[in-house]
Amino acid sequence: MTDKNKSGQRQEDPARTRSPDPLPSWNEGRTKNAIREFVTKVTSEGGPGSVPTHERIAVFDNDGTLWSEQPFYFQGLFVFDRIHALAAGHPEWKDTQPFKAVLEKDLKTLASAGLHGLLELVMATHTGLTTEEFERTVKEWLSSSRHPRFNRPFTDLVFQPMLELLAFLRANDFRTFIVSGGGIEFVRTFSEDRYGIVPEQVVGSSIVTKYEVRDGRPVLVREPKLDFINDHEGKPVGINKFIGRRPIAAFGNSDGDLQMLEWVTAGTGPRFGLIVHHDDAVREFAYDRASAAGRLDRGLEEAPGRGWALVSMEKDWKVIYPFELEQEVT
C-alpha cells in the first residue's frame, strides 16, 4: 500500500490524472463549469467566497454516486449470497420474510422491505462475528464474486469521473468523506484502495458492537442489534456526529441524499450540491422514479429550484468505468 499524507489520503492520489485537465472524463458543459467555478471561488485566497482549508469538507454518497447500484445495492447482493450460503443451517428462513424473498430471489418483496429489511438480513447473517472476521468475509466476497452484467469484480464498477472529482477536490485541500446508507464496515473494506478514502472518513449505517476479551485477546463482536441508519434524515445526523462541522459540498444520486444536500447547501458561504442522474442504459443503467435501489423522485423535481447540479451520465460523462480507459489503451 502506498504512503499517505496527514489526512490519511495517498500522497500519490490513485485517481489523479496526468492530463492538464483535472476532470478529463467530464464533457465540457454546464456541470463541469459549475464544479470548476465552485473550486476556484473557494480556493481564491482573500476572495469573497474564499473558504479556509480546515472547512473544505465534501461529502459523497456511495451507492449510485461513487459506484453502480444495479441490479441492486452491491451490499444487498453480498447479503443475499450470505443468506444462500447459510440457509442449510436455518430451515426456518424458508417461511420467514425477508429471508424467504432472498431464497426465492423475489426482488420486489425485498425492495418493499427497504433498508430496514436489508439491515435485518445483515444482522441475521453476521451475529457473533468479530469485526476482523466480518472484514475478511467481505473482502473474500469482493474478490471472488462478479457483477451479473459486466462479469467483473464489483469494485471495478466505480465511476471514473467521480474518482477524478475526488482527486480534484483533494488537490484543492478538500477532505473527502463518504456518507453512505450502506454499512460503515462494509464500505471501509474497499474505500481506501478504490477511492483513496481512509476508514475514518467513511460514515455509514452501523450495528452495535461489543468489546470482549477472548482468551486474553480483545475483540469487537458484531451484535444482532441496529445502531444507526445513515440514510435520508439520518445523513445530516451522521455528518454532525462523525464530522462535527457542516460540509460545503455534497454529492448524491437518490432521494436518500436529499436531506444531506439540503443540510449542506443551507449553510452560509459558497455551497455546492450535485445529483447524479442515471440515464445511460447503454453504458450503465437508466432508472429514477420507479427504482428499487436508488430511487430518485423528489430530487429530480427540486434540483433546479435549489441550485443543485444535475449530472446526466449519458451527456456529461465521457467514460463511466476506469476499465474503459484500459480498453482504450490496448
Angle at 270 (CA atoms; ends 200, 20), nearest 5 degrees:
75
The interface mask with a copy of itself, positions 103-142, x = CB under 8 A, is: ----------------------------x-----------
* Nearer Cβ to a copy of itself (98/236): 236
Nearer to a copy of itself, 1 or 329 (CB): 1
Closest CA to 169 of 250, 265, 79, 75: 250
Distance CA 267, CA 306 (A): 13
Verify binding: residue 199, a copy of itself, rule CB under 8 A.
yes
Pick the closer one to a copy of itself by CB: 234 or 299: 234
202 counts as binding a copy of itself under rule CB under 8 A: yes
The residues near 299 (Cβ < 8 Å, ≥ 6 apart) are: 252, 254, 255, 257, 258, 261, 275, 308
Asked whether 303 and 261 are in contact (CB, 8 A), the reply is no
Contacts of 182 (CB under 8 A, 6+ apart): 62, 63, 73, 75, 204, 205
Residue closer to a copy of itself by CB (options 104, 200) is: 200
Site mask for a copy of itself (CB under 8 A), range 160-179, x = bound? ----------x--x-x----
The type of residue at 288 is D
Q: Which of 7, 145 has the CB closer to a copy of itself?
A: 7
Q: Alpha-carbon distance 80 to 75, whole Å? A: 9
H/E stretch holding 212: strand 202-214
Counting residues that bind a copy of itself (by CB under 8 A) gives: 49
Q: Distance from CA of residue 47 to its chain's centroid?
A: 32
Window 220-249: contact mask with a copy of itself (x via CB under 8 A) = x------x-----xx-xx--xxxxxx----
Which residue is it, cell 469538507?
57
Q: Is 188 in the site for a copy of itself (CB under 8 A)?
A: yes
Place of cell 453502480: 68
- Interface positions, 37-96, toward a copy of itself (CB under 8 A): 52-54, 57
Alpha carbons 301 and 312: distance in angstroms, whole number: 15
Residues that bind a copy of itself (CB under 8 A): 1, 3-10, 52-54, 57, 131, 170, 173, 175, 184-185, 188, 192, 198-202, 206, 209-211, 213, 217-218, 220, 227, 233-234, 236-237, 240-245, 259, 262-263, 266
